[in-house]
Structure formats: structure tokens, C-alpha cells
Amino acid sequence: MLDPKAIVHPEAKLAPSVRVDPFAVIDRGVTLGDDCVVHSFAYVGGPPGHVTDRGEGTTLEVGARTVVREYVSLHRGSNVGSGRTVIGPDCHFMPYAHVGHDCRVGRGVVMTNGSMLGGHCEVEDFVVFGGAAAVHQFCRVGTMAMVGGGSIASQDIPPYCTVAGNRVRLAGLNEVGLERRRVSKDVIQALRRAYRILFRTAGTRAHALERVRAEFGSIAEVAHLADFVASSRRGIPR
């Protein structure tokens, strides 16, 4: 359902069940999946925030059942990047949230009011961003992480963890999020122990990773945490 006061580019591809409210803008190169809702004054598919690259021929893909609230901005990809911004299904973007060019956002991600992703960020499934949280370009955020309100992240945020602070620091596991996703108590306990080894125990990161894999490597969630930390290029907050 498209309100006649909405502005929709003729090249945009919208599933029949998409709802677009008055004064929302859907730009070129956009694909919106089934049952997406775009509220008034949102700008979906705007050009990348780049000095010279205006994203000619680039795209933005938004998965099914995603909600885009008022004044949200979702930028399509850039020609200096991948050319694609991809947002998974079941996401919720609250007012003034922003997703920069070439980002990849997973399933069930919640960005609360004023939270922001710089260009080229990768966000895994079921991450929650508190109000006015900001993530630097090229950073990764692991699955089920919680980024506290007002936090500024310039390094990769490990899966299942909580970070907080103006310059973020690790603040423990996101146990509330894990319980909401019905992760078993045994897995949460293993993640707790792995967290202590990786981030609270003296010694080198390489030795800690070796120990975590030896003790808990058979648990998929712990293996994912270890792989994420080992592959980080921007580093992990202290």
C-alpha cells in the first residue's frame, strides 16, 4: 500500500504487501521484501555518504517484515565499495537511525533512536543498538551483541557480548539477550567461561584462543565467538 503523498522512484522494486506512509522517500535501486513498513519522512535508498561517489547503479536490499520508522536513512551501496547495502529480514529501525553505504545487516537487528552505522559495517543476527550508539566504518558486530546507548565503537564487537561507554569497553556477556533468544543454560555457562578466558585472563590472545577451542570448541556458539575474535582486523575493545 503506497500513500499517494509518498515519493517512490520508478526503478524501486517493492513487494505487493509493502506499506509506505505519507512523505516517505524510496529512491532508485531499492528492493523491499514482503510486509515491510516504511513510515513517514524516512529516506530509503539515498545515495552513499561519500564526497565523490553518488552510488550510480548501486543497490539497497531490505528483507521481509522490516520496519523503518520516521526519519530513518538507509543508504544504498557505493561504487568504491561492494555496490550493495543489504539488510536482512525482521529488522526494526527506530526514528533517526542510520545505515551507511555498503553495510551488511543480519536478521532481527534492532537499531533504537539515533543509532548509526558507518559505511562498510557488518552486523550479524539479533544485535541490539541502544539510543545514539555509533559504529565506525568497517567495523563488525557479532550476533546477539548489545551496544549500549551512547556508545561509540571503533573496534569489532564480539558475538554475545555487551559493550558500553563513550569509547566502548566490554562489559560482560549479553545474558539478557541470550536468554531472550532461548539459548540454553549450558551454552550460556560455556560462553561465560570462554569470555573470562578470552578477556579477563592474563596472557596472550593467541594462547587464550587455543585454550577456549580446546575446552569448548565443540559448542557452536563458543566456536563462533573464538573465530570472530581471531579474524578481527580492527581489534576488540578492552
Same domain, 66 and 156: yes
Selecting among 45, 102, 106, 130, the annotated active-site residue is: 102
Give the amino acid at 78. Answer: S
Same domain, 210 and 172: no
Residues of the chain with pLDDT under 70: none
Decide if 1 is inside a domain: no
The reported pLDDT for the residue numbered 238 is 87
Same domain, 42 and 134: yes
Same domain, 195 and 103: no
Selecting among 29, 55, 119, 130, the annotated active-site residue is: 119
119 catalytic? Reply is yes
How far apart (Å, rounded) are the C-alpha atoms in residues 50 and 12?
A: 22
Same domain, 100 and 199: no
34 catalytic? Reply is no
The reported pLDDT for the residue numbered 192 is 97
100 Cβ contact partners less than 8 Å away, ≥ 6 residues apart: 48, 49, 75, 85, 116, 117, 118, 119, 120, 121, 137
Domain boundary pick from 162, 177, 192: 177
Decide if 118 is inside a domain: yes
Same domain, 146 and 200: no
Q: How many domains does the chain have?
A: 2
Same domain, 164 and 199: no
Same domain, 157 and 220: no
Same domain, 131 and 167: yes
The reported pLDDT for the residue numbered 167 is 85
Same domain, 105 and 16: yes
In three-state form (DSSP H/G/I as H, E/B as E, the rest C), the secondary structure along 24-82 is: CEECCCEEECCCCEECCCCEEEECCCCCCCCCCCCEEEECCCCEECCCCEEECCCCCCC
In angstroms, the first-to-last Cα distance of the chain is 47
Same domain, 202 and 84: no
Decide if 236 is inside a domain: no
161: CATH: 2.160.10.10
Domain membership of residue 205 as a residue range: 183-230
Same domain, 109 and 214: no
Question: What are the pLDDT digits (tens) for 197-237?
Answer: 999 999 999 999 999 999 999 999 999 999 999 999 999 99
Q: Where are the alpha helices (DSSP H) in 71-184?
A: 175-180
Phi, psi (rounded to 5 degrees) for 77: -70, 175
pTM score over 0.85:
yes
| CB neighbour class for 211 (10 Å; exposed up to 12, middle 13-18, buried from 19) | middle
Decide if 237 is inside a domain: no
Decide if 100 is inside a domain: yes
156 catalytic? Reply is no
The reported pLDDT for the residue numbered 166 is 85
Selecting among 101, 106, 108, 148, the annotated active-site residue is: 101
